[in-house]
Structure 1
Amino acid sequence: MSTQAAKMNTNEPLIPQRADPHIFKHTDGYFYFTGSIPMYGGIELRRATTIEGLANAEPEIVWTKPETGQYSELIWAPEIHFNQRAWYVYFAAAPSREIKDDLFQHRMYAIKCSDDNPVDGEWEFCGQIDTGIDTFCLDATTFTHNDVLYYVWAQKGPGIKGNSNLYIAPMKTPVEIKGEPVMLTKPEFDWETIGFWVNEGPSVLKKNGKIFITYSGSATDENYAMGMIWADQKSDLLNPASWTKSQIPVFQTDPTVKMFGPDHNSFTKDENNNDVLVYHSRTYTEIEGDPLWNPDRHAYVKQVKWDVHGMPIFGKPGQP
């Protein structure tokens, strides 16, 4: 059995201890991987010609956080994208304690690389991506539709109960949004509000005339689950009325195979152009100490299936 067959659609991790995993398949024939690393100290990249090859690819730290300052703590959920002829990694970072007593004051930032191979290339810090709302924010992703580059992210909404909602905005450049943010969804169902009121970790999948955005809800323990909204590709994506929201999670904990809190996902395509769900999960619930510093959220992959109505079927974690 090949490594790909062994790790795709099973509860064997592709890469251990990598939360918030993101895989980007580029036109150069390579797959690029990043994710939150233990201790949250910087941004790691690796690349391979196959998804399974990422497991043994040499990781490279391409950016390390400064010792102090506005973006010197808790580097979370990096995503690598190729936008407008350059590489960008979008990530969240918090200020050091001498600036803010509360560490959870994340804002979103980006780094850029113009070289062909971003793993070996030179990266420059681009600064903060300002959404016009000065509150806790994180988990940015981007996608292009009808020649418009869009930015989707999670942010605490002023005057809205909860920790984070999902927003969308077009981009003027790959590091600057254009116009006012539009809120797409906020925590409202019971499954989104266990422990924390959260909509975060958006990821975009385009297929069958629709644009799907998955996201994570509730606290990052066994209650963490994946929700989904979708819109017709011909609709106005900046109109919240264009989007439909599932009232139930579409992917969640399965204790029968010891897969807990499977979420904060991304999407890619495998070598055969099949859609692939990339996600993290823990294999136990008895976390000692602060769950934030627990490194045992592992990166997994499984193939996405599709029903007769053109809707994605994610099934159960660790199972075909």
Structure 2
Amino acid sequence: MKRILTIFGLMATLMMFVVACGNKPAEGEQVKEGKTASETKNVKKNIAIVYSTGGKGDKSFNDSAFRGLQKAQKELGITFKEYEPKDASSEAKDTLMQYAESGEYDLIIGVGYTIKDSLTAVAQSFPDQKFAIIDDEIKLPNVVSLKYKEEEGSFLVGAVAAMMTKTGTIGFVGANESDLIKKFYDGYEQGAKYVKPDIKVLKVYIGGSNAFNDPASAKAKTETLIQQKADVIYHASGASGAGVFQAVKEKNVYGIGVDSNQDGLYPGTILTSMMKYVDNTVFDTIKSVVDGNFKAETKVFGIKENGVGTTDFEFTKDKIGEENIKKLEQIKQDIRDGKIVVKP
């Protein structure tokens, strides 16, 4: 009997040892809120985004950000919630606050410089929440700022405009006279004059309370440029660009798109688009959260960082010509190498 009890005692001790070992994290893992680090990493991440004025469907800036989310959903398995304000400067704060208060989101993204003040206030109130802002800079320990050298991409399309003008006059339509929009114009003018020093570069701004989503005003402003003999017109005006393209199509001159590939909207009329790869930077930022590498810092993307560029001239290669395209590639390489410095 004593021997039997001893055997049962040994068996009970062995079972306790096995259970204890089974609950122990594998070597190198850390327990966080009842889960190992590897389990935490594999939890599906939830992202929130507040778009800029115009929202999705602008075929420009917001749509590019949306593509980055879609890519992250497909490749990283994230889920996301989105909000499209009519006026980002006035509506964004309440939505950002709701997202932050919920505690449901691993990253909250604000699109556009008009969101800066709202995102700053909310980020200060929720220091443990991760945020990202696109197109501006917020120096807080929980915000990553994603900025672009729009002037470099605009330099390239300015060069194309100078190559293609027949009148020696080109135009620019900006949403407003903000510092950001001026970067587009400055690069465009410099690129045009690099190719043709005596070229005339005209500019107009849409202005008003809805500058990024006012195609009617953009069309009228574009027509004034065409009346002054501008035969290539570049816009930096978000969804308002639809009006620019209508005008250039009707008047049989060339247009240049912005932010996303807009070439296919009017094939052959739109020479190229100044690409701002917001989709790539949105995806990379989400991936940093998924991988546990998120870092609050300011990142600036130019030609060297593959942050801006042009389309591949799908509909206009023959019009622009092989020689001009080669010249453009050389200009791009010279900017990358620092031989050409574009000043914003």
TM range, normalised to the smaller chain? under 0.3
- TM-score by length of structure 1 reads 0.26
**Whose strand fraction is larger, Structure 1's or Structure 2's?**
1
**Whose helix fraction is larger, Structure 1's or Structure 2's?**
2
